[in-house]
Amino acid sequence: MKAPATHTAALLDSTHGKPKLLVVDDQPDNIQLLVQAFGGDYQVFMATSGEQALAVCHSDPPDLVLLDVLMPGMDGFAVCRQLKGQEATAHIPIILVTARADAGQETHGLGLGAVDFIAKPINPAVVRARVHTHLTLKFQADLLKKLVLLDGLSGVFNRRYFDQQLATEWARSARSGLSLSLVLLDVDNFGAYNERHGHQAGDDCLRLIAVTLKSVLRRPADVVARFGGEEFACLLPDTSHEDARALAQEMERRVRQLGLPHGSGRMVSVSVGLGTRVSPHNGQARDLLDLASAQLQQAKDAGRGVVRHASLDTTPAPL
């Protein structure tokens, strides 16, 4: 049986290929059996204790957990309870596996939030079928959540999602001390483009620019969003000012290279403003947004079709 819904996984952009399974069992033979059953179509990770399973789920969340109930120390029920009790891991589907299945255990496990219950000895074909079913359900639910956060015209994330991610990444940057960069882009003279070519052409132009911006970014954590009207935002976690500057320049260059005729011999271009938090900053996420906005305005004042950039608590620097 193949991994679930390749097109769905691609839309989610969450598995980067094969879905990730975490197999938790204190018996190596049981783990090996499941690894053999899933190794061809899935990325299989292993844990031999409840504590290790929790650590894996927090450091690199799997798409599904196959969790043995009877383990020394922290048993499967305790692990399930902790995973479902924490926001960061509550969404991970858990299939409980036990050699002593009965109605009471099954009711208890399902009550804790497990999605299924499998009895030992394990039948590989049955386990594969159930994993396939629950992963498909998870990916479909994730996709529906994600669609709510997509911009209907351009296909990239919308302003609501951008605002959420900016707050999240600002807080993460504050904890880790890592840099955070934000790029704002505005399509130059877009009102005139609409008047000359029509609104349908304007919509097509925005879609093409959105695709182009996404093609420049290569890391899963990077976010492209439609900020509003003809403006786009690119949030770049753990990206230095120098690297973000190179990406901003590439975005401006790629849009210009599309060769979309604006009129009077000019091509469609974007003005770009970049702001970076390069060191601990006691302000708020709004400070980074204001900085990028100010740099975008400087790019427009400089004649449009250029990039301007600055870091928080530093002097703006022209390109």
- Which residues are part of the catalytic machinery? 230
Strand partners, 182: 235, 275
- Cβ-in-10-Å burial (0-12, 13-18, 19+) of 303 comes to exposed
Q: What is the largest CA-CA distance in the chain?
A: 78
Is-cis flag, bond preceding 121, omega within 30?
Answer: yes
Are 9 and 3 a contacting pair, CB within 8 Å?
Answer: yes
